[in-house]
Structure 1
Amino acid sequence: MRIGQLDVRLTFQHPSGALDELGQPIPGGLQDVATVWAAVRPMGSNERVAAAQAQSGQTHVVTTRWSAALAAATGAWSVRLGARTFDVIGLPRCPDEGRQWLVFDCAERVPQ
C-alpha cells in the first residue's frame, strides 16, 4: 500500500472505563485514542463469503500505519468516520510483520 492511499481521516475510540455511582461501566462512554489517516474499503465478494462463514458481520476493511496505540485495539473499540461508526471485529492484523501497517476488520453500525 502506498501512503497516498490513506486518504480518509478517522478516529479510533475505546470504552472510557468510566463508572457510574454503583461502580458499573457507563454504556456508550467512549474515549478517543487516535485520529489518523487511513484507507477504508468495503469488503470484496470473496471476503464477504469468508466473513459470512465465520459469522463475523464484517462489512469493511480499515488500513492504517502501524502504531503501538492502535496495535492494542480489541473488539471493544470503534472507529468514527464523520457520522459513520464502525465496530472493530477481533484484533488488528500486521500483514507484513514489519510494523508498517495495521489492518482492522470492521462492521458498520446501522443508524437507529
Structure 2
Amino acid sequence: MTAKLTMIYGNPVDEDEFERRYTAHQEIVKQVPDILRAEYGKVFPKEDGTPRPRWRTADLYFADYDTAVAAFEHENGAAVARDAVDLATGGVEFLLSEVGD
C-alpha cells in the first residue's frame, strides 16, 4: 500500500527567509530516490487575523513503507531531512502514513 511522508512546518521566525530557503529545499527533495510524487501546501491565514496554526505542509508519496524508509536512509533522503529541520525555525513534524482504505 502507498506510503506518504508528511512534513508539517510551524510558523517561521522570518517568513521571507523561510520561503527563500523552502524553494531551494524543494529542489533537494527532487533528488530523493523513488518518490512517486510530491505535493506542497501553504496553510491559509486565519480570517480573524490570529497566527496560522502551521505555515506549510509537504507530502511525499512512495510505493510502500519499505521504499519510503529506504529513501530516507539514502544520503539524498537524509539530506532532505536535515535541511527540513535546519530551515524550520518554527519546528517541523514528520508523519509516515499508509495511504488508502
TM-score range, shorter chain: 0.3 to 0.5
More helix by share: 2
TM-score calculated relative to the size of structure 1: 0.31
More strand by share: 1
TM-score calculated relative to the size of structure 2: 0.33
Instruction: Name which one, 1 or 2, has greater alpha-carbon Rg.
Output: 1
